Amino acid sequence: MTGLLIRGAAMLGAHAEDLRVRDGLIAARGSLSPESDEHVIDARGLVALPGLVDLHTHLREPGGEASETVLTGTRAAAAGGFTAVHAMANTSPVADTAGVVEQVQRLGQRHGYADVRPVGAVTVGLAGEQLAEIGAMARSEARVRVFSDDGMCVHDPLLMRRALEYVATFDGVVAQHAQEPRLTAGAQMNEGVLSGELGLAGWPAVAEESIIARDVLLAEHVGARLHVCHLSTAGSVDVVRWAKARGIAVTAEVTPHHLLLTEDLARGYDARFKVNPPLRRDEDVLALRAALADGTIDIVATDHAPHPVEAKECTWAEAAFGMVGLESALSVVQQAVVDTGMLSWADVARVLSSAPARIGRLEGYAHPLEIGSPANITLLDPSHAREWSTADLRGRSTNTPYTGRQLPGRVVHTVHRGVLTVDDGALVEPEAVAAAHQEVARG
């Protein structure tokens, strides 16, 4: 089989068409008849989206292979409809040299489930004391464009200024984890009445908002691009809205979980709901949804943060921060903002594919589903609904916050560079994915 014919999918949720995939590209659209060497996919009733792009994934390799690897994480990505992920730098060793980022990128290429774009650390060892080899990572084979100490905030204003100045020279971006460390020492959950009631140290909204306010001003001062990771408060939305109105080159992301879940889930002290930044209040969730709808927030990014069972099945205070999110992202977005009428499927294509690709300077996603574009395609069934369980996960860790929840939508097929990675809801085996990529490469 050298090509694919996808029949009758609703393009970006609008009118139905057939799509022909050849040599890794979208070759034709319209009303098409199958050719003898084509694999035909009946996609009637399915929505066709461009392959999803995650700007914020923790793949854990090297060093954290007990929680996730590049292979298991990209399989989880494919299952969730993603064809590209940006791999965060908080690995062990930290991705702060050209050697580590090249290693991560090559692992992604070898497995073939999704493009893996390494994120480079801003500071050596994420320690916040000395700039990492930013230029070497940018010039490396991995061509790093996104730099982040995610998990840690670049809190020293001078280092942040220097990092912004540096990345501006090659059109890179600093993705800031906005968390003032002094205001969040020992913090366990959102600061408010509930944290007092539960006896858990509070994490004030101002710890996030004050860093964003400082950094948008620094970005303006030096004329650089700033990206703000995982916005979680209504106040952060206000600051970003103000900065954009002023013409500052800032972009912002929200996670699926911050669009759906609130701090009330901490009541049971179940550490599956412990995450950085913490789940906030209803008002924050509504402000984040509205900001995504009006464009103040540019993208949805998963912050997929796998952890081993022992890091979550312990007391709240001892547990690690983080939730897995690649497999559930599209369903949670559908529930929070599509089924509520705030975003169309074309908007979803923007916030989960073309906009994150643009921020990461990733090519091939600018013209979703257009003829001549790389064939990165996600086909989903939005009418499907199911009770979420750990059986829905494809990565190595099970720390999902959605177990027992009704979630809509199901990824039925994922096509990465012309190769099926998910077929009829099931992951395609690694050997078959590798062989199909070789066939595409041979033309």
Could you list the residues that contact ligand NCD (CB under 6 A)? 58, 90, 150-151, 177, 275-276, 303, 305, 321-322
How many C-beta atoms surround the C-beta of residue 354 within 10 A?
18
- Residue 306 is classified by DSSP as -
Q: Which pair of structure tokens corresponds to residue 320?
A: 């690690």
Nearest-angstrom CA–CA distance, 343 and 353: 14
Q: Work out how close the CB of 179 gets to ligand NCD at its nearest, in angstroms, rounded to a whole number.
A: 8
For 397, counting Cβ atoms within 10 Å of its Cβ (0-12 exposed, 13-18 middle, 19+ buried), the class is: buried
Q: Work out how close the CB of 304 gets to ligand NCD at its nearest, in angstroms, rounded to a whole number.
A: 9
User: Known binder of ligand: residue 90?
Assistant: yes
Q: Return all residues near 237 (Cβ < 8 A) that are at least 6 apart.
A: 231, 287, 288, 290, 291, 296, 297
- Residue 33 is classified by DSSP as P
Q: Which is nearer to ligand NCD, 305 or 440 (CB)?
A: 305
User: Known binder of ligand: residue 307?
Assistant: yes
Q: Which residues of 92-129 are buried (b: 16+ CB within 10 A; e: fewer)?
A: eebbbbbebbbbbbebbeebbbbbbbbbbbbbebbebe
Q: Return all residues near 335 (Cβ < 8 A) that are at least 6 apart.
A: 260, 407, 408, 409
Q: Work out how close the CB of 231 gets to ligand NCD at its nearest, in angstroms, rounded to a whole number.
A: 13
Q: Which is nearer to ligand NCD, 230 or 350 (CB)?
A: 230
Q: Which is nearer to ligand NCD, 273 or 345 (CB)?
A: 273
User: Known binder of ligand: residue 135?
Assistant: no
Query: How do 82-87 and 115-118 pair as beta strands?
Result: parallel
Question: How far is residue 286 from each of residues 209, 232, 339, 384, measured CA to CA in Å?
Answer: 17, 11, 14, 25
Q: Which is nearer to ligand NCD, 3 or 325 (CB)?
A: 325
Q: Which is nearer to ligand NCD, 90 or 414 (CB)?
A: 90
Q: Work out how close the CB of 173 gets to ligand NCD at its nearest, in angstroms, rounded to a whole number.
A: 18
User: Known binder of ligand: residue 258?
Assistant: no
Query: What residues act catalytically?
Result: 303
User: Known binder of ligand: residue 150?
Assistant: yes
User: Known binder of ligand: residue 190?
Assistant: no
Beta partners for 123? 131
Q: Work out how close the CB of 309 gets to ligand NCD at its nearest, in angstroms, rounded to a whole number.
A: 14
Output the known binding site. 56, 58-60, 90, 150, 177, 230, 276, 303, 307, 321-322
Output the known binding site for substrate. 58-60, 90, 276, 307, 321-322
